[in-house]
Amino acid sequence: MQETPEEKPPVFSRWSAWYWLVAGVLAALIVFFYLFTKNYS
């Protein structure tokens, strides 16, 4: 599909940056949960 001007993402210049952000936050959460589990078990 052709990208039209209004389909540019907010904040970042490319959609791939948003995708990396979502995947990165998930990875960070999993690391946090792992440490959380270790710390409190």
Partner 1 sequence: MSFLDWIVLSCTLIFIIVYGVWKSRGQKDLDSYFLGNRSMPWYIILLSIIGTQASAITFLSAPGQAYSDGMRFVQYYFGLPLAMIVICIFFVPIFHRLKVITAYEYLEQRFDLKTRVLTSFLFLLQRALSTGISIYAPSIILSSLLGWNIYYTNLFMGGLLIIYTMYGGTKAVSYTQSLQLAIIFSGMFLAGWMVMHLLPKDIGFSEALHVSGKMGKLNVIVTDFDLNDRYNIWSGVIGGFFLALSYFGTDQSQVGRYLTAKTLTESRMGLLMNGLVKVPMQFLIMLIGALVFVFYLYFRAPINFNQGLLNKVHNSEYAPEMQVLEQRYDSLSVQKAGYVKALAAALKTENESEIEKVKSSLKAAETAGDTVRAQAGRLIKKADPLAEVNDTNYIFLHFVVNNLPKGMVGLLIAIIFLASWGSIAAALNSLASTTMVDIYQRMIRPDGTDAQNLRASKAWTLFWGIFSIAVAQFASGLGSLIEAVNILGSLFYGTILGIFVTAFSMKSVKGHAVFWGALLAEVFIVGIYAFNLVSFLWLNLIGCALVMLFAGLWQFVENFIAAKE
Distance of closest approach, residue 30 Cβ to partner 1, in angstroms: 7
Q: How many other C-beta atoms are found inside a 10 Å radius of the C-beta of residue 12?
A: 13
Given the complex with partner 1, which of 13 and 22 has the nearer CB atom? 22
Contact call for residue 12 and partner 1 (CB under 8 A): no
CB 13 within 8 A of CB 19: no
Distance of closest approach, residue 29 Cβ to partner 1, in angstroms: 5
* 16 to 35: interface string for partner 1, x by CB under 8 A: --xx-xxx-xx--xx--xx-
Q: Say how far apart CA 28 and CA 32 lie, in whole Å.
A: 6
